[in-house]
Amino acid sequence: MDFLDFNKEVWEYIESHTSAEDPVLAALNRYTHLKVVHPRMLSGQVQGKFLEFISRMIQPSYILEIGTYTGYSAICLARGLKNDGKLITLEINDELAPVSEKFFAEAGLSGKIELVNGNALEIIPRLKSGIDLVFMDAEKEQYSKYFELVFPKLKTGGFLLADNTLWDGKVVYDKEFKDTASIALRDFNKMISENPKTENLILPLRDGLSLIRKISD
């Protein structure tokens, strides 16, 4: 339960009035919590449905995800792709690949999702331009670098989603929380809010989700 979940009863109400996970996502959710460390990293029912809706509204041809984990968010995002669309997802931990690829197949999305293992800072410069939608959910200390690398490859009018941008509220209390992640996310949020080439909105969804639109090159 994140600090923005108000309280247990309100969050349970939100979940109970949000469309339920389908069997594939429910199985992936359960597997992650039973078998994988740090299951809190999984997007889950509410955020997953939000990602799916954003993708369906945009109807992208080309999505980049930075941080696959066990593949839950990739499945949600890929469901909004155009028929000939592609999602490229980057994950540094290659031990998770068998899990995510298994569930990509079960979701019927293996042909639309390409998993690339390795360091995103090294991979992003090699990717082609023309990205419609980016979802960033990897090392928080690298958010500003990810953004600087991916922004030139994002279409004008394209969108970038950055997860965990409120970081349990720690970004607000700069005198109390001086860990590297909190500092990096504060710097990232400030950089985005001052960037004349973007407009943005921080949504109080779970741990904070920034929706950023590229308005000029």
| Residue pLDDT, tens place only, 127-183 | 999 999 999 999 999 999 999 999 999 999 999 999 999 998 899 998 888 999 999
User: Phi, psi (5° rounding) for residue 83?
Assistant: -55, -35
What is the chain's length? 217
For the segment 42-60, what is each residue's pLDDT rounded down to a tens digit?
A: 999 999 999 999 999 999 9
Contact 78, 103 (CB under 8 A): no
Phi, psi of 26 (to 5 degrees): -65, -40
Every domain of the chain and the residues it spans: 3-214
Instruction: Kindly calculate the radius of gyration of the chain based on its CA atoms and give it in whole angstroms.
Output: 17
* Tokens standing for residue 209: 């989700």
Query: In CATH, what is the architecture of 3-214?
Result: 3-Layer(aba) Sandwich (3.40)
